Amino acid sequence: MAGMLIQQGATVLCTHGAPAMPTAPNPAVMLSGMPSCVVTAPWSVAGCPAAAAMMPPCVTAQWLLGTMRVTSNGQPLVVQSGTAICTPSGTPLLPVLTQLRVSAM
């Protein structure tokens, strides 16, 4: 999937608007001075308001689809057009604001 690579510090939200952050950034590739993210590392979601709507809140997330041609240490990188699923709600993560210099496929 082609798109901008996602770095630590990018604005990524769960569907309910809570911020998500990588638990293990990848310092082997730096993007705008911040570590990149690999698909295999889980993300944490903080303060999901879904419980107020009687839905299970997002707690963690896992990227399922990332770069196809570009890897770091043998792992695909997280890309803005990739796919992630939150647990236990099953809703996607939404990359809102990322670095704008490096795109990958």
Mean pLDDT for each 10-residue chunk of the chain (105 residues)?
93 97 97 97 96 88 97 97 96 97 95
Q: CA 91, CA 100: separation in Å to the nearest integer?
A: 26
- How many other β-carbons are positioned within 10 Å of the β-carbon of residue 54? 6
Tokens 């570009």 sit at which residue?
A: 70
- Domain spans, the chain: 3-93
pLDDT at 17: 97
The reply to whether the predicted model has a pTM over 0.75 is yes
Q: How far apart are CA 36 and CA 28, in angstroms?
A: 8
Strands 11-14 and 93-97: antiparallel
